[in-house]
Amino acid sequence: MIIKALRLGLGQLIVLGDLATRPSKMKRTPEAQAVVDQAAGNLALYQFKACPFCVKIRRKLHTLNVPVTLRDAKNDLSSRRELESLGGKIQVPCLRIEENGQSTWLYESKAIAAYLDQRFAV
């Protein structure tokens, strides 16, 4: 019980620290941002709110100004089941990429960050 309370407290500190130190968003022309917004419609991030690796990816999304749908795999049972049944495992962060009618499930924060940089940092 003490460990659970400690985890909860540390999770809230991580979230507050993220909000307090969040970097500014990338600036784009309205046309370029519209292209990014459309591309982001094919992405979904499965995450836990207080997971430090998920915070890292949410910060990357904020910095790159990419509006991705966030799915709470901890508190939303349907998102959790979707992650497990379609993605293959319950591991966060996980970026679901829909392209050409197929889903790709990208795990590991480093791989997700590299994908986001390669696709949206231009």
Domain ranges of the chain: 2-120
Across the range 51-59, mean pLDDT stands at 95
pLDDT tens digits, residue range 43-53? 999 999 989 99
Please check the confidence at residue 33 and state whether its pLDDT lies above 80.
yes
Mean pLDDT of 52-67: 96
β-bridge pairing 43-47 and 69-72: parallel
Segment 66-92 shows an average pLDDT of 96
pTM of the model: 0.87
The listed CATH number (3.50.50.60, 3.40.30.10, 3.65.10.10, 1.20.140.10) that belongs to domain 2-120: 3.40.30.10
Note the pLDDT of residue 80.
96
CB 98 within 8 Å of CB 61: no
Range 88-117 average pLDDT: 96
Instruction: Identify the sign of the CA torsion 44, 49, 54, 55.
Output: positive
Contacts for 42 with CB less than 8 Å, ≥ 6 apart: 97, 98, 99
CA–CA distance, 91 with 21 (Å, rounded to integer): 26
Long-range contact set of residues 81-86: C-beta below 8 Å, sequence gap at least 24: 82/46, 83/46
